[in-house]
Amino acid sequence: LGFLEGSDPKLKKEVLVVTGHYDHIGLTTSGEDKVNNGADDDGSGTTGVLMLAEAFAKAKKAGNGPKRSILFMTVVGEEKGLLGSEWYSEHPVFPLENTITNLNIDMIGRGDKDHASDNNFVYIIGSDMLSSDLDKIGKKANKDYVNINLDERYNNRTDPNRFYYRSDHYNFAKHGIPVIFYFNGVHPEYHMPGDEISKIDFPMLAKRAQLVYFTAWELANGLKRPVVDKNDDGTPKK
């Protein structure tokens, strides 16, 4: 855990959580190369979390830190059932009611077959599931600062791939905390030894990390936290 305290006396009790998972699936039993490296899944996301932590720390040192606090968290056990983030959501360091959003970075260093000639895209999942406020903030940050193509084809609770339920953001969403999941899709080396650092597209990784950074910046400095939408019966969405 890396904690950056906010600068505003009132708003600093509110916490933005940025996550990525640093575990992978270990060794395989067949083939000459038995090491599943996990460079994209999720070395890229872990790198993204560290990049954001460094950038925000430098901003604070320069006297321009965020008003709200930010928790940078790399979790373990994602590949075994989102265990690390589940543990945190059940034993939070900071109260969940003060957690304004989770930005989850899981695989941002590659492309997929549907974007073979496009190195300017990222899938976003969940941004409008609980909070239309968050969806607007994230998309405005992209338009104002990054201008990357946002692919939302998997942004559906009933998508057969079930990506919304398959990464650490879900353990925040199920507690009613707004989330955005940043993802590059699957590729032939997904969960294979071939997921190596030599195949990482570093400029694309950096641009996606910039999108998360600017979204985090807007969330940490906005006048109000994202409002959770209501169901038809008036209860908060989950």
User: pLDDT tens for residues 82-93?
Assistant: 999 999 999 999
The Cα–Cα gap between 175 and 75 comes to: 18
Name which of 150, 134, 158, 154 is nearest 229 in CA terms: 134
Q: How many CB atoms lie within 10 A of CB 201?
A: 17
Joined tokens for residue 122: 């990222």
Joined tokens for residue 21: 């998972």
* Residue-range domains of the chain with CATH: 2-221 (3.40.630.10)
Average predicted confidence (pLDDT) for the chain:
97
3-class secondary structure, 220: helix
**DSSP secondary structure letters along 108-129:** -S---GGGTT--SEEEEESTTT
The Cα–Cα gap between 17 and 32 comes to: 40
What is the pLDDT, as a whole number, of residue 158?
Answer: 96
What is the pLDDT, as a whole number, of residue 233?
Answer: 83
Q: How far is CA 67 from CA 82, 133, 219, 220, 228, in A?
A: 30, 19, 9, 6, 20
What is the pLDDT, as a whole number, of residue 234?
Answer: 79
Name which of 212, 172, 208 is nearest 53 in CA terms: 212
The Cα–Cα gap between 227 and 229 comes to: 6
Which residues are CB-contacts of 236 (< 8 A; sequence separation ≥ 6)? 130, 176, 228, 229, 230
pLDDT-flagged residues of the chain (< 70): none
Residue-wise pLDDT for 167-206, tens only, equals 999 999 999 999 999 999 999 999 999 999 999 999 999 9
